[in-house]
Amino acid sequence: MSASVLVIDDSPKVRDKVIRTLKDVSLFSHYREANDGLEGFKSLMDSPSDLVLCDVEMPRMDGFRFLQMVNSRQELQGIPIIMLTGILDFGSKIKGLNLGAIDYLTKPFDAGELVARVRVQLKIKTLQDELRRANEQLTRLTNTDDLTGLFNRRYLTDSLSNEFIRAQRYQDNLTLVIFDIDHFKVINDNYGHQNGDHVLAAVAAAAQQGLRPYDVAARYGGEEFVMVIPGATLAEGVAVAERLRVAVQNLSFPAPMEGVKVTISLGVANYPAAPVSDIASLFHLADQALYRAKQTGRNRVEVMAHSDYSC
């Protein structure tokens, strides 16, 4: 098993006994130790462990304060922590369990009991990790487009709604870019839908590559895509759109599409702006800009115009 354990105790003898006991049954591949809660917390921040064995009474930072520190960090929650105590005090046990300890072991401990309790917690953590990964995979499948790997229309709707509310609240910028692939039907007709899918995937990859982690690129439908760029001014959104236009124009494809140049047309709209009162008006302005890009020659970026919107 490729797993790690952190043993926190102010007694080197106790740490050594715990580690030797666990090594005898090969439960872990990595063993780390710390003198007190503060050193243990710093060790976890540097590299989280799969399980922690922590003494209750220690100098500088005791086990209870260590539990509180771990609970304050989202990235550390879910690590099973077994407390070690030399005092059979039910009040202290209840306090530790309420602070997030998963189990208690009284010192001096029996080696067999230690191994049994650790095995149980490792098995529970393994099952929880598998469930978390399955849920994350389900979320990805629910929110992403199978072909392109971009977010799907449902996720786009939720994300755009949240970002628009945030932009309204803080009077921050929000840029929307709508684009589609020029003459995509011709590509499908001349080279087949399989090669058309390759084009969609390549354009999607180009769109994703130019965005920040908190930006959103989604497939809206067919050959049409949308990018949501929080905090970007209209000029910044146009710059993103232009970079993408050039990147797509420079894409190359294998046979039978070698030599084929794929282009896109893009429309850009931004909040806050006088014509934008809601998501529908923002989307409408970007869509009208895209339409204008199509009408004026394709393979170009057009910006929203106030005349595009009327109540």
pLDDT of residue 296: 95
CATH superfamily placement of domain 4-142: Response regulator (3.40.50.2300)
What's the pTM?
Answer: 0.64
pLDDT of residue 311: 34
Q: Could you tell me if 10 and 40 are in contact, meaning their C-beta atoms sit under 8 angstroms apart? A: no
pLDDT of residue 107: 87
227-270 pLDDT, tens digit each: 999 999 999 999 999 999 999 999 999 999 998 999 999 999 99
What is the pLDDT averaged over residues 267-278?
93
78-87 pLDDT, tens digit each: 899 999 988 7
Question: Is the peptide bond prior to 256 cis by the omega test (within 30 degrees of 0)?
Answer: yes
Q: Could you tell me if 102 and 79 are in contact, meaning their C-beta atoms sit under 8 angstroms apart? A: no
Confidence of residue 310 (pLDDT cuts 50, 70, 90): very low
Q: Which fold is adopted by the domain 153-308?
A: Alpha-Beta Plaits (3.30.70)
How high is the mean pLDDT of the chain?
Answer: 92
- Characterize the bridge pairing of strands 30-34 and 4-8: parallel
The reply to whether domains 4-142 and 153-308 share a CATH topology is: no
Specify the higher pLDDT residue, 311 or 179.
179
Residue ranges of domains in the chain: 4-142, 153-308
pLDDT-above-90 percentage for the chain: 79
Specify the higher pLDDT residue, 308 or 102.
102
Q: Which residues participate in catalysis according to the annotation?
A: 223
Specify the higher pLDDT residue, 131 or 138.
131
Q: Could you tell me if 188 and 200 are in contact, meaning their C-beta atoms sit under 8 angstroms apart? A: no
- Radius of gyration for the alpha carbons in the chain, expressed in angstroms and rounded: 28
Alpha helices (runs of H) in the chain, residue ranges in sequence order: 12-24, 37-46, 63-71, 90-98, 111-143, 153-170, 184-191, 193-209, 234-249, 279-295
Gap between the Cα atoms of 117 and 102, Å rounded: 10
Question: Is the peptide bond prior to 108 cis by the omega test (within 30 degrees of 0)?
Answer: yes
Confidence of residue 307 (pLDDT cuts 50, 70, 90): low
Q: Could you tell me if 281 and 306 are in contact, meaning their C-beta atoms sit under 8 angstroms apart? A: no
